Amino acid sequence: MIIDSIQGNRSDLPADDLAALREDRVPLTNAQLLKRVQRVSTEAGEEIGLQLAQQQELRDGDVLHRDDSRIITVHVLPTDVLVISPEDITTMGFVAHSLGNRHLQAQFFGPESEYGRPVMVVLYDHTVEDFLTHHGTPFTREDRVMPAAFRHAEHSH
């Protein structure tokens, strides 16, 4: 089966519709969310080819296929991340600047997020962990399903 577009997200489906379908999931890592052309397998073992449009990016729960009896969805696997919680804006600026100089991919969340406070989230790296520990910056190491894929920001010096 070749999939060339996303057909919505399972979170947008009425509960009754979803309950009537057999769900098969495609487990993907954070890095795989950005690949628009790839061969993947569902948890039931069915091979699927993805050939998505240039600007389509996969997210947890995306519907890849739906018919009368089943639905195939994206299941994003947890990612090993550091959740950084600086206690003040000066520390946040220092940490963001220092890690930005390393060209690290980061995501930022405000106090209204599931974290309940302003945080910076980066992929786990032992050198970042050492840096944060050395500078006394509060952080936790967690396995998280991220709402979007980590991506490099294009730039030049």
Say if residue 71 is in the same domain as residue 128: no
Domain that holds residue 130: 79-144
Number of structural domains (the chain) is 2
Q: In what order do the strands lie in the sheet with 37-41?
A: 2-3, 47-51, 37-41
Looking at the domain assignment, is residue 157 inside a domain?
no
Tokens of 58: 């996969």
Q: What's the CATH code of the domain at 119?
A: 3.30.70.790
Give the C-alpha separation, 95 to 128, whole Å: 10
pLDDT tens digits, the chain, 157 residues: what are they? 999 999 999 999 999 999 999 999 999 999 899 898 999 999 999 999 999 987 788 999 999 999 999 999 999 999 999 999 998 989 989 999 998 888 888 999 999 999 999 999 999 999 999 999 999 999 999 999 988 888 765 555 5
Identify the burial level of 73 via C-beta atoms within 10 angstroms of its C-beta, where 0-12 means exposed, 13-18 middle and 19 or more buried.
Answer: buried
Its pTM stands at 0.79
Say if residue 69 is in the same domain as residue 94: no
Give the C-alpha separation, 148 to 57, whole Å: 9
Q: What's the CATH code of the domain at 50?
A: 2.60.260.20
